[in-house]
Amino acid sequence: MRTEIGTYSSRSAALAPETESVSVVIVVWNAKKYVLECLESLREHCQNIGPEVIVVDNCSTDGTPEMVAEQFPEFRLIRNPENYGFAKANNIGIAQSSGEYVCLVNSDVKFLDDCITPILDFLRTNPQVAMVGPKMLTAKGAVARSTMRFPTVWSYFCRAVGLDLLFKRSRIFGGFLMSDFDHLTTRPVEVLNGWFVVARREAIQRVGLLDADFFMYGEDIDWSYRFRQCGQPVYFFAGAGAVHYGGASSSNAPIRFYLEMCRADLQLWRKHRGWLGGAAFLSILALHHMVRLFGMSFTYLIRPSQREDTLLKLKRSLATLEWLATPSHPTAAKGAGSTQHRESPAA
């Protein structure tokens, strides 16, 4: 196994030669149990495609890189000297990869079969498609949300006040989380969730790497938006799927990670909608959590069996409103890692 110290350059991934058909890049940060299951299932089910697998460790402290080096010598390990965040670490892996196609996979993904080959076949037979995401499955096998729409003031408002839950089949009220889409049909979409995507290298060369200013969360929406701006179609592919556990790292500090998501979304709104859009996002987020405080307080009183979960949601809303009341809107401490699962700040 080649073990390297990670270095970062903003130059395009075009510098890497295209000698492999597909390169798999997996960013890891602690969560050794999930990383082990991910890599074992990748080795078991996808060995026939001969992928170049690059594991980028974000300075884990739980023995994850040592485990990767010992148990997966055929994979290439890059050890970052510090936690660079999700986007930047993926960029390091992309820049060091050589495949015609680049597959970014979260470290809490479990492969049930060779789901990469059908995606590659789809890309090869549809040369106009630039990036593809498969069907997300829960640990129990249910289909989970894998796509989103670009957030707008209206769609975000629908999500914040629950209109997308009241009118799940409505395109108008479906919100940016696409409650109206069953995720069973292959089709073009606006946003692919960043848990598992396969992109053409030539498309990445046109669009550019992930925006490393996003430490965690937000980079998938931003990347999809930039693909769209460059005329590079993004598709959801219903013909393949894998299990995504989600929240393997964030479950240890849910409020802190939630605030990190709020910060990333504010950053996203300001980048693409300007300061006025950022102000709209903050206003709707505040409305949502004030309404949620009232609703969760009532639930806490009348449903004793749900009090533990309700109390966490109450604390999250209070922490969010406190964050909103701080003029600089600081982020949570950046001990955040690479295993992420996006719900929404308005959730």
CA 228/CA 194 separation, integer angstroms: 15
Report pLDDT for 39.
96
> Under 8 Å CB-to-CB from 231, ≥6 apart: which residues?
none
Q: Are residues 217 and 276 in the same domain?
A: no
Q: Are residues 133 and 257 in the same domain?
A: no
Three-class SS of residue 152? coil
- Quick one: tokens of 157? 């408002």
Which amino acid makes up residue 127? P
Q: What is the pLDDT of residues 189-235, one digit of tens each?
A: 999 999 999 999 999 999 999 999 999 899 999 999 999 999 999 99
Q: Are residues 58 and 119 in the same domain?
A: yes
Phi, psi of 30 (to 5 degrees): 55, -150
Q: Are residues 20 and 60 in the same domain?
A: yes
Nearest to 170 by CA among 162, 161, 179: 179
Cα torsion 272, 274, 279, 284 to 10°: value is -20
Instruction: Name which residue leads in pLDDT, 16 or 289.
Output: 289
In a domain, 167, yes or no: no
- Percent of the chain whose pLDDT exceeds 90: 65
State the number of CA atoms in the 13 A half-sphere of 274 facing the CB: 1
- Quick one: tokens of 144? 């989970």
Q: What is the pLDDT of residues 33-92, one digit of tens each?
A: 999 999 999 999 988 777 799 999 999 999 999 999 999 999 999 999 999 999 999 999
Give the global pTM.
0.87
Report pLDDT for 301.
85
Report pLDDT for 64.
95
Strand ranges in the chain using DSSP code E only, listed in sequence order: 3-5, 20-28, 52-57, 76-79, 99-106, 109-110, 131-137, 143-144, 147-148, 187-188, 191-192, 196-200, 234-244
First to last CA, the chain: 42
For the segment 301-324, the average pLDDT, to the nearest whole number, is: 90
- Quick one: tokens of 180? 């109206």
Nearest to 90 by CA among 189, 178, 219, 181: 219
Residue 265 host element (H or E) = helix 254-302
CA 107/CA 64 separation, integer angstroms: 11
CA 3/CA 188 separation, integer angstroms: 38
Q: Are residues 199 and 309 in the same domain?
A: no
Q: Are residues 80 and 24 in the same domain?
A: yes
Instruction: Name which residue leads in pLDDT, 224 or 179.
Output: 224
Q: Is residue 16 predicted with pLDDT exceeding 50?
A: no
Q: Are residues 219 and 301 in the same domain?
A: no
CATH of the domain at 217: 3.90.550.10
In a domain, 344, yes or no: no
CA 193/CA 220 separation, integer angstroms: 6
| Burial status of residue 10 (CB atoms within 10 A of its CB: 0-12, 13-18, 19 or more) | exposed
Confidence of residue 250 (pLDDT cuts 50, 70, 90): low
Q: Are residues 227 and 299 in the same domain?
A: no
Q: Is residue 332 predicted with pLDDT exceeding 50?
A: no
**Average pLDDT taken over every residue of the chain:** 87
Q: Are residues 233 and 272 in the same domain?
A: no
Instruction: Name which residue leads in pLDDT, 12 or 260.
Output: 260
Q: Please say whether the beta carbons of 251 and 341 come within 8 A.
A: no
Report pLDDT for 296.
87
Confidence of residue 4 (pLDDT cuts 50, 70, 90): low
Residue 313 host element (H or E) = helix 307-325
In a domain, 175, yes or no: no
In a domain, 16, yes or no: yes
Q: Please say whether the beta carbons of 28 and 338 come within 8 A.
A: yes
Nearest to 52 by CA among 19, 84, 91: 19
Q: Are residues 256 and 231 in the same domain?
A: no
Q: Are residues 205 and 66 in the same domain?
A: yes
Asked which of 244, 269, 292 is the last residue of a domain, the reply is 244
| Overall domain count for the chain | 2
Report pLDDT for 226.
97
In a domain, 62, yes or no: yes
User: Residue 101's Cα: distance from chain center in Å?
Assistant: 19
Range of the domain at 305: 250-325
In a domain, 342, yes or no: no
Tokens 């799927």 found at: 241
In a domain, 271, yes or no: yes
Q: Is residue 113 predicted with pLDDT exceeding 50?
A: yes
Q: Are residues 60 and 83 in the same domain?
A: yes
In a domain, 10, yes or no: yes
Report pLDDT for 174.
83
Instruction: Name which residue leads in pLDDT, 35 or 295.
Output: 35
Confidence of residue 6 (pLDDT cuts 50, 70, 90): low
For the segment 100-107, the average pLDDT, to the nearest whole number, is: 96
CB atoms closer than 10 angstroms to residue 71:
12
CA 240/CA 230 separation, integer angstroms: 26
Confidence of residue 331 (pLDDT cuts 50, 70, 90): low
Instruction: Name which residue leads in pLDDT, 289 or 336.
Output: 289
Report pLDDT for 326.
86
Confidence of residue 17 (pLDDT cuts 50, 70, 90): very low
Q: Is residue 129 predicted with pLDDT exceeding 60?
A: yes
Report pLDDT for 19.
44
